[in-house]
Amino acid sequence: MTLNLCVLTPNRIVWDSEVKEIILSTNSGQIGVLPNHAPIATAVDIGILRIRLNDQWLMMALMGGFARIGNNEITVLVNDAEKSSDIDPQEAQQTLEIAEAALRKAEGKRQKIEANLALRRAKTRVEAINGIS
Amino acid sequence: MSQLKLSSWVSSDQPFHNPNHLFIQRHSKLFQSDISHPSKLSNFRTINCSLRDIRQRIASVTNTQKITEAMKLVAAAKVRRAQEAVVNSRPFSESLIDVLYSINQQALLEDVDTPLTNVRPVKKVALVVITGERGLCGGFNKFVLRKAEARIAELKSLGLDYTVISVGKKGNSYFVKRPSVSVDRFIEGEGFPTAKDSQVIADEVFSLFVSEEVDKVELLYTKFVSLIKSNPVIHTLLPLSAKGEIHDENGNSVDASEDEFFRLTSKEGKLAVERDKSVGTSDGFLPNMEFEQDPAQILDALMPLYMNNQILKALQESLASELAARMNAMSNATDNAIDLKKSLSTVYNRERQSKITNDILEIVAGAEALLYS
């Protein structure tokens, strides 16, 4: 009995195959999904998606969206998703530093909102590379 | 000496309206060429007299024709890729529409109040104008910018304040030259639009709307109707209505479940376009589907996705329209180059033949003169 996971972004399909288990970060905490999970619909926060295939954990950075868990079918719709193997560590670190600097300089409600979002995304990308399963 | 010869030629042969003196001064370079005999002035007023110059012109027109033809083929190939990109984004759109529909059914039209559906009395409007990156695409950019100006004038007459977010180098350079139009931000993209590009615009628009700096956001892009026709349209992006419907400026709703997609096929070897309407297949949610969070939070997460999707689709359609316009413009240019080359060749051959005839006449006359002397 395997789970079928589908991760979709607006311009491409990032993942479409079977997995053993996933751990998803939602607005109300992390949830783990095993085969035959009860059907739920949940919002997905900017965070890391852990995928287990045969005792090996893979990490993907998700930039917020929605997940629908049905009869062993998981559909995750996100604005952007990157596999940890596709992220360049140095570039991710630089983006994080730029985002932090931007947040410190931000003035006014609007710039703060933008800067916060950018910072959270940059952090997630760095975590995806560094995180140990 | 050549001057005298020319005047005698001209007075005997053709009615020539320009003063000879001025004509020769202006084209003195031509008459100093190594052609010893001044050629007969052609009937085409725009074409100059020297054989070598005509030959050079033919060569340059041939070059131009090769370039425009290559550009046309490149644009045609890219339109096909643009269509594939649209097809790749379909799974996302379809799932999203599915989910939105089901959630709204389940939430039983609760009055959900998320920041992006907040309908406020409109004082300031943000206009996102999508133009192309490069030129040589016919009237494409001009139509979009004209529509933008019209909309800005309309907003001004309604007494509303406005700000412009310009996407694309052509729009950027246009607005830079017009300091009277207040532009919020310039964005440039390259190549095919990705989710990251639309994310940048989405972030900008999101923060403008949520911080209440603007009360309405409109998207101005070019809708791809067919390979030879495209329309600039205005879509209201925010505020979103809870059903995920977007209304255009006349208040008609463009319902999400009847989205239109375009498709390029080749009918009998000619490129044709088909549009099919996709009916949102709602196999529905399972009856005991639970929401991990309350519907408000779920919709909160869905709205940015939907907004991102709309922006990306607008970008993709604009790109496809631009490529189709470039294809047509380059095709016309190639046809014009072929015509020009034909007429230049005709003139060249006439010149060449008349030169040979004159040479022969001279030789024969000289021989005759010798004979009779």
Q: Which residue has the higher pLDDT, B338 or B305?
A: B338
A36–chain B Cβ distance below 8 A for any pair: no
Residue A130 has pLDDT above 70, yes or no: yes
Q: Is A28 in contact with B292 (Cβ distance < 8 A)?
A: yes
A10–chain B Cβ distance below 8 A for any pair: yes
Residue B114 has pLDDT above 80, yes or no: no
pLDDT of B31 reads 46
Collapsing DSSP states into helix, strand and coil, what is residue A122? helix
Q: Give percent of chain B with pLDDT exceeding 90.
A: 23
How buried is residue A108: exposed, middle or buried, by Cβ count under 10 Å (0-12/13-18/19+)? exposed
Quote the minimal CA–CA distance from A123 to chain B in Å.
Answer: 16
Chain B partners of A76 at a C-beta cutoff of 8 Å?
none
pLDDT of B134 reads 87
Question: Model confidence at B1, in pLDDT bands (50, 70, 90)?
Answer: very low
- Among A32-46, B56-70, B242-256, the range scoring the smallest mean pLDDT is B242-256
Q: Which residue has the higher pLDDT, B287 or B356?
A: B356
- pLDDT per residue over B64-86, tens digit each? 999 999 999 999 999 888 888 88
Among B11, B65, B70, B68, CA closest to B41: B11
Average pLDDT score over chain B: 74
Question: Diameter of chain B by CA atoms?
Answer: 121
**Rounded to whole angstroms, how far apart are CA atoms B265 and B79?**
11
Residue B142 has pLDDT above 80, yes or no: yes
DSSP A45-113: EEEEEEEEETTEEEEEEEEEEEEEE-SSEEEEEES-EEEGGGS-HHHHHHHHHHHHHHHHH--HHHHHH
A119–chain B Cβ distance below 8 A for any pair: no
pLDDT of B110 reads 56
**Residue of A6, A27, A78 with shortest CB distance to B297:** A27
Question: Model confidence at B266, in pLDDT bands (50, 70, 90)?
Answer: very low
- pLDDT per residue over B25-50, tens digit each? 554 444 444 444 444 444 444 555 68
Collapsing DSSP states into helix, strand and coil, what is residue A120? helix
Quote the minimal CA–CA distance from A1 to chain B in Å.
Answer: 20
Residues B134-143: what's their mean pLDDT? 90
**Residue of A27, A75, A110 with shortest CB distance to B211:** A110
Question: Model confidence at A66, in pLDDT bands (50, 70, 90)?
Answer: confident
A86–chain B Cβ distance below 8 A for any pair: no
Quote the Cα angle for A33-A38-A43, to 5°: 65
pLDDT of B218 reads 87
Locate the chain B residue with the closest alpha carbon to A43.
B298
A103–chain B Cβ distance below 8 A for any pair: no
- pLDDT per residue over B237-265, tens digit each? 877 654 444 444 444 433 333 333 333 33
Q: Give percent of chain B with pLDDT exceeding 70.
A: 67
Q: Which of A25-29, B129-133, B296-300, B337-341 has the highest mean pLDDT?
A: B337-341
pLDDT of B211 reads 83
Q: Residue B228 is encoded by which pair of tokens? A: 């030879």
**Rounded to whole angstroms, how far apart are CA atoms B227 and B321?**
8
Residues B118-136: what's their mean pLDDT? 84
- pLDDT per residue over B199-221, tens digit each? 888 888 888 888 888 888 888 99
pLDDT of B40 reads 46
Chain A partners of B204 at a C-beta cutoff of 8 Å?
114
Contact B133, B75 (CB under 8 A): no
Quote the minimal CA–CA distance from A60 to chain B in Å.
Answer: 16
Average pLDDT score over chain A: 85
pLDDT of A131 reads 67
**Rounded to whole angstroms, how far apart are CA atoms B269 and B51?**
42
Contact B292, B301 (CB under 8 A): no
Chain A partners of B207 at a C-beta cutoff of 8 Å?
110-111, 113-114
Q: Is B302 in contact with A75 (Cβ distance < 8 A)?
A: no
Question: Diameter of chain A by CA atoms?
Answer: 52
Q: Is A80 in contact with B196 (Cβ distance < 8 A)?
A: yes
- Active centre residues of B (catalytic): 137
Residues A27-37: what's their mean pLDDT? 88
Here the ipTM equals 0.77
pLDDT of B5 reads 41
Say which residue the tokens 């060449």 belong to: B352
Locate the chain A residue with the closest alpha carbon to B309.
A10
